Amino acid sequence: MTDVATYDGRIAIIGDCSGRDAHQTVDCTDMALAPGFIDVHSHSDELWLVDGRALGKICQGVTTEIGGNCGTSVAPLYGEARVRKARDARTYRLDVDWTTFDEFFGAVERSGVACNVASLVGLGTTRACISGASDRRLEREELDAQTQLVREAVEHGALGVSSGLIYEPSRYADLAELSACAAVAREAGAARYVSHVRDEGDGLIEAIDEALAIGRAADVAVRCSHHKAAGRRNWGKVHRTLATIDRARSRGADVAIDAYPYVASWTELATILPDAIRRGGEAATLERLRDPAIAASTAMLLQFARDPATGGDSWHDILITDTGSDRNAAFAGYRLDEVAAHWRLSPARAAIRLLVEEELRVDCAFFSMSEDDVAAVLTADFCCIGSDASARAFEGPTARGVPHPRTYGCFPRVFGRFVRGRQLFSTEEAVRRMTSLPAQLFGIANRGEISDGAWADLVVFDPRRIVDRATYERPFVPPEGLRDCFVNGTAVLRNGDYTGARPGRVLRGGQ
């Protein structure tokens, strides 16, 4: 055993401090002391302004969040990108009074936040700034304008670029566009391409190949987000994709992944719609779905796609977590087939009705993964942990709907289910995947380790007891076994209780 002393936000001494005076001492007998956890895949973004307590993450020991994932970031905001962000922010009664990352980061610093925050710049957001919902290839001058937005974002502190290639309008970007934007990020000093790849199901293997090709073309590091194989007929494919990534790494490529320890993903219900229906943006999609003939044919396609006889997932595997309005808010926590039974419609028809009534703003958990696949991904030594969730509270404006339990339990679940339960790796290895590995992969300086001069982001937990308690039915439940959390040397969680402190910093460029 040894002592760790902090001063002015940093680790000052590692060794015997028994003869020294201290303003406060923390007894860690029979507990583990670890660096604060780094959530590399967060979607908090504007929620840092809505509720800077970040309680859902702090209670898990997360001391740093990286936002701007899946191609969507909180800046830059021009044109259609601003319209979308303002609409989303109205849900939380937040005024969007920033345009650039510099302005947004300044707003976060003024309002205060409990954890450290950083962000990527989303290529769906930059594309929306330039061409709105257009589904065409960008003209040369449009691509030049987009890359200029990327350059400015990195100069303001973005850690790299992200793409979300199943979402509008990101999915219309081709390899040339994505490579050009990633290359400009490298030139500006943030050589990272972080991708929600183009297909996590039938086309997973080809999608990973595309991500690696972008890395080669732009000469940047590649980070594949929430790596998985979705859909029963695709279970097992992760062994092939992990081998592909391993080969690329053996040839010198800087490639890594993140994952969360659950078998359900969490995304927009609209992602189940055929490509032809989604083309051209939200307004065009809704116009098609409101046409009775198109809606009928779409329902037939959806029903066929989810036919278990052809390897499709069940409608019961879709859990409604939130809706854009109060009209159907009562369905949060219901499975889609249960909604269909209530409306006396087929599940496909019910899905279309829900999307139309909520103007596509329906979020769902999709139970589409195999836990054996999840375990295989987590055991890859180049895999770090990312919650793919926002920093919500247990009450108030951010406690909407029935969120995915990873919102409140992701990091403790790794210890409870995969360290002690399945014994995939040791406690120390789990900590590495949450601390030093993500710090290295995303360029977070002087964090992720307990060393002289490092920032004093620290967590105290019981490795025998730490476990998640949030479930799909009851997500608003904090984990057990994590006692204390310090951010930049200040206690934000003591004996499991939030202290009210907001000592977090904006890590521009990871600094």
Residues 333 and 220 occupy one common structural domain? no
Examine the pLDDT at 274 and tell me if it is beyond 90: yes
Averaged over 164-179, what is the pLDDT? 96
Tokens of 242: 């992990």
Residues 207 and 273 occupy one common structural domain? no
For residue 306, what pLDDT is reported?
Answer: 87
User: Percent of the chain, pLDDT > 90?
Assistant: 95
Per-residue pLDDT tens for 436-470? 999 999 999 999 999 999 999 999 999 999 999 99
Closest CA to 326 of 400, 403, 394: 400
Rounded Cα distance, 460 and 146, in Å:
44
Given 348, 367, 386, which residue is the final one in a domain? 367
Residues 450 and 307 occupy one common structural domain? no
The better pLDDT of the pair 280, 485 is held by 485
CA distances from 394 to 51, 177, 478 (A): 11, 40, 9
For residue 22, what pLDDT is reported?
Answer: 86
Given 315, 336, 367, which residue is the final one in a domain? 367
Non-local (6+) Cβ contacts of 391 within 8 A are: 42, 44, 47, 48, 51, 54, 55, 56, 57, 62, 65, 115, 398
Tokens of 424: 């995939």
Least confident of 14-23, 54-63, 384-393, 431-440: 14-23
Closest CA to 61 of 5, 114, 118: 114
Query: The dihedral of CA 503, 112, 156, 189: what is its sign?
Result: positive
CA distances from 452 to 16, 38, 276, 393, 446 (A): 14, 19, 56, 33, 9
For residue 79, what pLDDT is reported?
Answer: 96
HSE of 47, CA atoms in CB hemisphere, 13 A: 24
Domain count across the chain: 2
Residues 89 and 119 occupy one common structural domain? yes
For residue 179, what pLDDT is reported?
Answer: 98
> Mean pLDDT, the chain, as a whole number?
96
State whether residue 258 is helix, strand or coil: strand
pLDDT bin (cut points 50, 70, 90) of residue 304 is confident
Residues 124 and 176 occupy one common structural domain? yes
State whether residue 118 is helix, strand or coil: strand
Rounded Cα distance, 172 and 205, in Å:
19
| Phi, psi values for residue 224, rounded to 5° | -90, 120
For residue 261, what pLDDT is reported?
Answer: 98
Averaged over 243-267, what is the pLDDT? 97
Q: What is the DSSP letter of 480?
A: B
Per-residue pLDDT tens for 200-209? 999 999 999 9
What does the angle CA 85 – CA 86 – CA 90 come to, to the nearest 5 degrees?
Answer: 115
State the residue range of the domain holding 344.
269-367
Closest CA to 364 of 391, 338, 393: 338
For residue 281, what pLDDT is reported?
Answer: 86
Averaged over 357-380, what is the pLDDT? 97
CATH of the domain at 463: 3.20.20.140
Residues 216 and 346 occupy one common structural domain? no
Examine the pLDDT at 1 and tell me if it is beyond 80: no
Per-residue pLDDT tens for 75-93? 999 999 999 999 999 989 9
Q: What is the CA radius of gyration of the chain?
A: 22
Rounded Cα distance, 372 and 483, in Å:
31
Given 367, 388, 410, which residue is the final one in a domain? 367
Residues 290 and 337 occupy one common structural domain? yes
Averaged over 63-82, what is the pLDDT? 98
Residues 253 and 300 occupy one common structural domain? no
For residue 346, what pLDDT is reported?
Answer: 96
For residue 305, what pLDDT is reported?
Answer: 85
For residue 367, what pLDDT is reported?
Answer: 96
Q: Do the strands 490-494 and 482-487 form a parallel or antiparallel pair, or are they unpaired?
A: antiparallel
Output the DSSP codes for 5-45: EEETTEEEEEE--TTS--S-----TTSEEEEPEEESSB--T
Which residues sit opposite 322 in a β-bridge?
363
Residues 335 and 409 occupy one common structural domain? no
